Chain A
Amino acid sequence: MDHGGIGLWGVPLAMLAGAIRVSTPFLFVSVGECLTERSGRINLGLEGTLVMGAMSAYGMALYTGSPWLGVLLAAGVGVLLGALHAGICQLPRVNDIATGIGLMLFGTGLAFFLGKPFIQPKAPVLGAIDLGWWSDIPQIRQALQVNYLFVLGIVLAFAMAWALKNTRWGLIVRLAGESVDAALAIGTPVGRVRLIATSIGGAFAGVGGAFLSLYYPGSWNEGLSSGQGLMAVALVIFARWDPIRCLWASLLFGAAGAISPALQSVGVTEGYYLFSAAPYVLTLALMIATCSPERSLRGAPGELGVVH
């Protein structure tokens, strides 16, 4: 095609770049939620945690000049919100779904309220690793700008998969998620296990939010998340509660989100509303596929959604 552009090759490249850029929040939220759900707890409030994480990270980076302190704060806020969710759910006859929705609204509302002064200013953002140094094509170099958090997310996904499978801790978490009776019989403090798992899950979601406000798109405003936290929770089901599959699913969702702009940028302009809806259609299809009257899903923790 014309000079400067790389034509139709731009579509797969943009989707790859989109997968890398857009997937990180999905990755963090879903890996964290994976741990939470394996312990038998569902946290739908992660959308609120994500937005709170984004807001607090941006604010912290703005005041201290250090985006990494922002990431730390976001993780801390995530722990608090996760612990709050777990604490409420431990009360008798409390439904996690309802609590999660409540916390989602609480988190987003609080973030919008506290985040007012941060919409205008420009905070320092996180750096990236340049993995495209070998190429002369600027598009490839741009696509391969990989953020540290993305790398961290991949490492954490593998580490969690290993830990769930091979460590004593992983066994306890899985036990709490599969059968409360069995766990109690061998003296496992189910409540405490779930509290810790949910808090860690919250920390992950907070870091995912920090990625949104401090790297991509890299500024704080109220439309920042647009439901990514909720989609990530759906993604856990799609990934069959396996952290490594969460990684692939996140990349897939990231690429799906990049389809519409990528196609429009090479001149495929008809039907962009349809392409824009791709990630949501994917979510919907997953929800329908997984919403079965019998519990037929392989890998679903046995205690998930059970109210005691």
Chain B
Amino acid sequence: MIDKLTIGRRALLGSAAGAAALGLSGAANAQKPLVIGFIYVGPRDDYGYNQAHAEAAAALKKLPGVKIVEEEKVPETVAVEKTMESMINLDGATLLFPTSFGYFDPYMLKEAGKYPKIQFRHCGGLWQQGKHPINTGSYFGYIDECQYLSGIVAGATTKSGKLGFVAAKPIPQVLRNINAFTLGAQSINPKATTQVIFTGDWSMPVKEAEATNSMIAQGVDVVTCHVDSPKVVVETAERAGIYTCGYHTNQAKLAPKGYLTGAEWNWERVYTGFVDAMKAGKAPANFVRGGLKEGFVRTSAYGPAAAPAGKAKADAVKLEMLNGNYVIFKGPLKDNKGNTVIAAGTSHIQTDPALESMNYLVEGVVGSTS
């Protein structure tokens, strides 16, 4: 039975090839859509990380000649390889976006070696020129710029001078956000400190609520976070009557009183660039980065509780960032153990790869990376 079917398909392919030889291939190719696979680690509508990507995927669906296939809640295990294979072999995807940090090594790299004609672009800062396959790449946004601006507003609004940060894992992107948030707060309120609590994983609702509550008990009056879904943190803070800065998407609706501002992704911008390249028959760029200036990230509108001084300063800094001449990480900068991490006179501009392997917490952060 199965053999007969295969032969049937082959015969079909043969006739298709014949048709192609007759010069019909142009028309057939034009109708074949570009199939793009999106893989998410959590649910698509988590009010956070995955939703930010899924919203961009939904926007791509509207483009002509593009077909999107999605799979959500794929763990960072060998399961993601199976998902990629089925997207490639069954759906005919030629461009894949495994969006979670842990998909890259070894899963995506393995699949990239196996399917050299398929393009893989990973969200996160792990791809390196020369070290990783050429059909892979990475894209990420400098969302720390928005975190810095959130920090300014938080630092101006806090009464206790204590800010809180609920974080999932001590990886470079998370540490960079914590540090940028703290530096922003210190730029307007030199005494401000940031308390960090690591929950250990991207989605731990009870632990996130517990972390928020224990920080509130220690006098923290502005919290922000870097977990997949900020919903629990934002709601817990709102119920306790303290302020929040959002992350990933806009959570103003969840905290109408206490929402100050927030750091949001604008992935649509990034993905559209990739799709344009694919449609033009070129390989998409391997190393894509951008911040406020490139429109990869944006800030939430200020909430009613945001202090006017903070808003004014944040607007001024944002303008400089949009012009592309604001440096967040510059020396002299010490970590919270007293070591100098950036020497005086050294400036790390946003594109500096040194920032993508950040492994310290700056002075003023209460917490540890291990």
Contact A219–B218 (Cβ < 8 Å)? no
- Size of interface on A: residues with Cβ below 8 Å to B: 46
Can you name the residue of chain B whose Cβ is closest to the Cβ of A270?
Answer: B368
A:7-49 near B, CB below 8 Å:
10, 13-14, 17-18, 21-22
Cα separation A122 to B254 with both chains bound (whole Å): 8
Q: How large is the interface on B (under 10, 10 to 19, 20 to 34, 35 or more residues)?
A: 35 or more
Residue A65 lies at the interface, judged by CB distance under 8 Å to chain B: no
CB-CB nearest in chain A for B215: A265
The listed residue (B47, B159, B218, B254) touching A266 by CB distance below 8 A is B218
User: Within B347-370, which residues are at the interface with A (CB < 8 Å)?
Assistant: 366-368, 370
CB nearest neighbor in B for A125: B239
B205 surroundings in chain A (CB, below 8 A): 217, 219, 221, 223-224, 226
Flag the segment in B98-106, B140-148, B190-198, B322-330 that touches A.
B190-198
Residues of A within 8 A of B209 (CB): 21, 216-218
Within 8 A of B (CB), among A196-211: none
* Closest Cβ neighbor of A139 among chain B residues: B217
A139 to B213: give the CA distance in the assembly, Å.
Answer: 9
Residues on the B chain within 8 Å of A228, using CB: 206
Is there contact, CB below 8 Å, between B217 and A226?
A: no
B111 contacts partner chain A, Cβ-Cβ < 8 Å: no
Q: Is A116 an interface residue (CB 8 A)?
A: yes
Cross-chain contact of A265 among B200, B208, B211, B368 (Cβ < 8 A): B211
Asked if residues A5 and B235 are in contact (CB atoms below 8 Å), the reply is no
One of A119, A223, A261 near B210 (C-beta < 8 A): A261
Nearest-neighbour CB distance to chain A for B76, whole angstroms, equals 14
The CA-CA distance from A222 to B47 in the complex, in Å, is 12
Q: Say yes or no for B45: interface residue by CB 8 A criterion.
A: yes
Q: Is the CB of B213 within 8 A of A14?
A: yes
Chain B residues 148-170 with CB under 8 Å of chain A are 159-162
Tell me which residues across on chain A come within 8 A of B245, comparing CB atoms.
none
Q: Which of A143, A212, A219 contacts B217 (CB 8 A)?
A: A143
The 4 closest A-B pairs by CB, nearest first: A4-B219, A269-B368, A217-B209, A5-B219
Cβ contact within 8 Å between A226 and B206:
yes
Q: Which residues of A contact B161 (CB under 8 A)?
A: 2
B interface secondary structure, majority: mixed
Partner of A258, one of B45, B214, B218, B368: B214
Give a binary string over B194-232; 1 marks a CB under 8 Å from any A CB, 0 the rest: 011111100111111111011111111100000001011
B91 at the interface (CB under 8 A from A): no
Q: Which residues of B contact A10 (CB under 8 A)?
A: 214, 217-218
- Known A219-B231, A257-B206, A272-B200; contact A265-B217, beta-carbon cutoff 8 A: yes
Given known A-B contacts A122-B254, A266-B218, A142 and B207 have beta carbons under 8 A apart: no
Q: A13-B217, A116-B45, A265-B197 are in contact. Are A142 and B206 (CB under 8 A)?
A: no
Chain B nearest CB: distance from A4 CB in Å? 3
- A139 vs B240: C-alpha distance in the bound complex, in angstroms? 11
| Contact present for A265 and B195 (CB under 8 Å) | yes
From residue B260, how far is it (CB to closest CB) to chain A in Å? Answer: 18
Flag whether B117 is at the interface (Cβ < 8 A). Answer: no
**B211 & A264 in contact (Cβ 8 Å cutoff):** yes
Contacts of A119 in B (CB 8 A): 43, 45-47
With A4-B219, A143-B217: A260-B236 Cβ-Cβ less than 8 Å: no
Of chain A, the residue at the smallest CB distance from B209 is: A217
Is the beta-carbon distance between B160 and A276 smaller than 8 angstroms?
Answer: no
Q: Interface code A102-128, partner B: CB below 8 Å = 1, 0 otherwise? A: 000000000010001001101000000
A221 to B: closest C-beta gap in Å: 6
